[in-house]
Structure 1
Amino acid sequence: MTARRPTTTAARALTAGAARPALLVLALSASLVAAAAPASAAVPDPTVTGPVPWTTAVGDPGHGYTFLATDYGLAERGYVEEEFFLSGEATRYAADGAADATVLSTGHDYTTRVVVRRPVDAADFNGTVVAEWVNVSNQWDQEVDWFQTHEHLVREGYAWVGVSAQRAGVHSATGLRAWGPERYGDLDVTDGGTVTDDTLSWDIFSQAVQAVREPAGTPLLGPLAAERVVATGHSQSAGRLWSYVNSVDPLADVVDAVVLHGGGGVMRTDLGTPVFKINSETDVAVDLLGAAQRQPDSDVLRTWEVSGASHGDWKLITDYGPLRLRDIGSLPGGFPGTPQTCAQPSGSRVPQHMVQSTLYDHVAAWVEDGTAPPSAPAITLADGTVATDDRGLGLGGIRLAPQDVPQRLNSGLNTGPGFCFLDGASAPVDDATLASWYPDEDAYVAGVVGATADAVAAGHLHDGFAQDPAWYSDVVEAVEERVADGRLSGRAAERLVGRVERAAAAADAGDLRAAAREMRLADGVAERQLRGDGDAVATVARSTAAVRAVVALGS
């Protein structure tokens, strides 16, 4: 395999310790590239088996289907989900994130799985593969970055590959082997129990990416050809990828960029691989995996921090919850309708996932032609804690409308048992208080539109923001909550919900004209037909008008 960029050693010699701009690295002369050791040649090609057929229907207790098979309508969007098994011999690395990794031993047998979600037609593929190191904090595979950004990835033609690289996801009491013995019983990332740590995981991940980039046998992407591969991982997986990009990537050289989501400490300054960090208010507040150990942006490093966002947020809980219930038998903490165990209602509603989706677009361009992503302001810290305004809302960072023009008090902080400290909070604000904050509906709508337009202009929000389902689901939830507790009544509330849901479906399909029409009709229902408590009606009307204006802005 030909090296795509100089190894760390070559980069040091060329730059005297300074990181090179991505475009210059990619444009180095052929003689310099040839002089660099082809580190990526050290990554062997694994044996690929599959696609592995399902032997039961999804949800069947026989578990003959892909664990956490998506419930998102891929087929109607021209996508397919497939699962493959990868086998080979992996190298054990010692990787401390401070220096190049060292080899501990070689020749360790492994078999793992990857899940691929991709366009069926090569003409619909944008050339970028997002390769996710799946999270195993719960002792089973959890594809956090897919849950957060799948709508955008599919709309924009990305391919997504989830890699099961760690022991917990395969071998724990709730791992793949135990979950589906007939389907996954031959998986083994421990070389028959002889490797009892995760020192094989880095090379297993490299080999999975190698199989994506340059398939030696069965192609993981079918008819698609990967032009660039972006590694991504959340929380615990961000920690693994931090070690990977600092220590193993200089030897493997198979990824084009790395996204560290919710963690990742100090980066080496002599690397050539672009790294993009995205951290929530939670991550910065608790210094999760080094998230508060800030470094200046550089030619190969960007850090974005999102005000009011939480490590485990509403988007993750609500998208992941039904699949967890189906395949594990339990719901995540904070899921709607379950007992609330945290001090505050968990799961910030600040839609950090929109920013994360935008980030992938920037990374793809960064790798493709050296277009540097914009920088972003940091969350404001005072004596090591997040500085807040008089409502308790965090200051600084990337600011989205729900933080600048709030209808709920979103925060990255919470307390309570288990993962409460990571789940953040979203405390409701009573309708009378909201009426006092926003006595002029037009001013509120202008605030939402202004905050959104500012984020787009700064490059922190992609142009397709109006297609995101969060705008619409927030209105539906606001109506349904008030109907449930008697603050709204009558058939008008049902009509309003129906209109907003149709607008959401149209927006997701890319038909913003139809979405605008439905939101105009919904706005009319909210303004003229809703019945109930006056302040509750005003809250819903205000929210509906704002979404209508957001759709107009995005059209």
Structure 2
Amino acid sequence: MSPSPWRRLGLVAAVLGLLVPTSVPASASAPAGPAPRVVGPLPGTVPGDRLADRIEDTYPFFSTPDDLAAAGYVEQEFHVSGAADGWAGNGTKVATGVPYATRVVVRRPAHARDFNGTALVEWQNVTAGYDLDALWNAESVVRAGYAWVGVSAQRVGVDQLRAWSPARYGGLDVTGGGRFTADELSYDVFTQAGRAVESGAVTGGLRPRTVLAIGASQSAARMTVLYDRVLPQQQPVFDGYGFVVGTAPTRAGAEPVFQVQSETDVRSATRPADTDRFRRWEVAGAAHSGYEGQAYRVPISERDLGDAPQYDCDRPPFSRVPMHHVTAAAYDHLRRWVERGTPPPTARPLEFEPDGVTKKRDALGLALGGIRLSQVTAPRALNTGDNTGETFCRLFGTHVPFDAATLARLYPHRGDYLHQVVTADVANVHAGYLLPADARQNLADALAVGGRR
């Protein structure tokens, strides 16, 4: 399949260092931007001793516990370095050619035959004070054959890495030796990492046909600045952009933009309109940070940080509406939008009361409108995007299982629940909001509990 029309051609990566496993063929065309230096893959895998004095006795921070080898995938880590320009939030260039060094984590097919040609490059989220691969989902990534790449672009994440393992990360710096501590270099650091992905330098020689930038929450906000104010002054790197549970650009650019919002993140009836380069989906009942991500990160936090955070929220936290099912469908649409020019389907927005800030809800307390997965249309619990309490509780949503009397009223006959799940999922697959494989998982989950009613 031919590259997208806005993709620049012929990038030559500077792949240096004794640890680089694969050489990448050079192109006759001139590079479109500075090519970073790449060293890796770095040695060391879980369960290494991060307190050891040698890099080979450490492992990547927040290395995934998913059994990638069984799925034909590998996880590798690289150091990426070069010279980055610095940018203020208003798009003013504040520095030129500042040295930097950071890391990228790559999870990719071990064999080229299993690669679908698309790389998802995630701007790692640092709201918690350390790097989170907020959008990593092994099931959907492996199933589709994506390469996933996490980029440490911001000072908070890199400083934490340096403290966590001086042996592995002590040489990293994205502040120009402390001169640029407000993440002025982060935009160039991220795009240069994208060039290393595009060239195959960090993907075992796999040259992606399509490179998508993705970011969640704070990372989406950083990517919004990149797209709106920095990208117009640079040559493009990414073919499309996915903004999840966060802000999205207002500029109309060549690269398509897909925004996916949880119920938590939709706080007003005023929202941008869909265009031929922009799509926005809103997911009823989903939380900014729901159950799936929390369950995934708890054992990693215990392993790498010594403990997992505990929260005392005003209502039971962590909505179980699977937001990741919708983002998986969004990636698939974004890829086809880039490669074929096929725009994604539009989606009904969440509904608001006349005041424009209060969401409409049904008698059970479930939000009306939006993309309605079977966990909302055939509910066994109250799942919302709202909560209150300490620290991050407002981001977790709510999950309150229904009692037996409510379930009996909702599903009076045996098979009612299963029928409603299947009906909702078939409709969502047909509409393009849900992938068939995730519908099958919903069916399996429904069978596990639905036989009772």
- 8 Å CA contact 1:445–1:542 kept in 2: the answer is no
How far apart, CA to CA, are the structure 1 residues paired with 2:413 and 2:4? 60
2:148 corresponding residue in structure 1: 160
The CA distance in 2 between the partners of 1:5 and 1:466, in whole Å, is 34
Give 2:406's aligned residue: 433
Task: Give the match for residue 81 of structure 2.
Answer: 87
Aligned counterparts of 1:467 and 1:385: Cα–Cα separation in 2: 34
Q: Given the alignment, which residue of 307, 317, 325 partners 1:346?
A: 317
Counterpart residue number, 2:202: 220
Q: CA contact under 8 A between 2:425 and 2:439: conserved in structure 1? A: no
Matched, 1:68 2:62: yes
Q: Percent identity?
A: 44
How far apart are the structure 2 equivalents of 1:53 and 1:320?
Answer: 23
Deviations 1:53-75 (A, max 9, x none): 01773465547100011111111
Contact 1:401 1:452 (8 Å CA) reproduced = yes
User: Could you tell me whether the CA contact under 8 Å between 2:262 and 2:286 is conserved in 1?
Assistant: yes
- CA shift for structure 1 position 333: 3.7
Q: By how many angstroms is 1:390 displaced?
A: 1.1
State the superposition RMSD in angstroms. 2.2
Three-state SS of the structure 2 residue aligned to 1:464 is helix
> What's 2:169 paired with?
184
What residue identity is the alignment partner of 1:458?
Answer: A
Instruction: Give 1 or 2 for the bigger CA radius of gyration.
Output: 1
Q: Does 1:257 align with 2:240?
A: yes
Closer, same or farther: CA 440–448 of 1 in aligned 2, 3 Å? same
1:239 CA drift (Å): 0.4
User: Does the 8 Å CA contact 1:281/1:412 hold for their aligned counterparts?
Assistant: yes
Cα distance in 1 for partners of 2:279, 2:309 equals 31
How many pairs does the alignment contain?
424
How do 1:390-401 and structure 2 match up within 5 A? Answer: 390-401=363-374
Structure 1 residues 3, 306: closer, same or farther in 2, change over 3 A?
closer
Task: Kindly provide the amino acid, as one letter, of the partner of residue 365 in structure 2.
Answer: G
TM-score, normalisation: structure 2: 0.89
1:199 aligns with 2:193: no
Say whether the 8 Å CA contact 1:374–1:459 is kept in structure 2.
Answer: yes
Partner secondary structure for residue 324 of structure 2: helix
CA deviation map 1:126-178 (0-9, x unaligned): 000000000000110000100xx32111111000000000000011xxx1001
The unaligned stretches of length 5 or more in structure 1 are 8-37, 335-340, 476-518, 523-538, 544-555
Distance 2:62 2:70 in 1: 19
2:284 pairs with 1:327: no
Match of 2:11 in 1: none
User: In the alignment, what sits opposite 2:26?
Assistant: none
2:115 to 101, 104, 125: 125
CA distance in 2, matches of 1:266, 1:90: 23
* Unaligned stretches of 5+ residues in structure 2: 9-28
**Matching of residues 389-468 of structure 1 within 5 Å:** 389-466=362-439, 468=441
Corresponding residue for 1:114? 104
Seen in structure 2, the aligned counterparts of structure 1 residues 407 and 371 have a Cα distance that, compared at 3 Å, is same
Task: Name the CA distance, whole Å, in 2 between partners of 1:448 and 1:55.
Answer: 41
Cα offset for 1:471?
6.1
Q: How far apart, CA to CA, are the structure 1 residues paired with 2:322 and 2:176?
A: 41
The residue type equivalent to 2:323 in the other structure is Q
Q: Which has the higher helix share?
A: 1
Q: Do structure 1's residue 272 and structure 2's residue 254 form an aligned pair?
A: yes
In structure 2, distance between residues paired with 1:55 and 1:333: 28
Change in CA separation of 1:130 and 1:56 when aligned onto 2, cut-off 3 Å: closer
**Which amino acid in the other structure matches residue 451 of structure 2?**
A
Q: Does 1:282 align with 2:276?
A: no
SS in 2 for 1:252: coil
Q: Tell me the secondary structure at the aligned position of residue 456 of structure 1.
A: helix
Residues 52 and 395 from structure 1, CA distance in 2 versus in 1: closer, same or farther, beyond 3 angstroms? same
Give the counterpart letter for 2:281 in structure 1: W
In structure 2, give the amino acid aligned to 1:252.
Q
2:192 is the counterpart of 1:211: no
**C-alpha distance in structure 1 between counterparts of 2:382 and 2:230, whole Å:** 41
CA deviations 1:440-488 (Å, max 9, x no partner) are: 12222211111111101100001212454x765x67xxxxxxxxxxxxx
1:225 match: secondary structure: coil
Number of the residue aligned with 2:6: 5
C-alpha separation between the residues in 1 aligned to 2:348 and 2:439?
A: 24
Shift of 1:105: 1.4
TM-score by length of 1: 0.73
Contact 1:86 1:112 in 2 (8 A): yes
8 Å contact 1:59–1:327 — kept in the other structure? no
Equivalent residue letter for 1:541: G
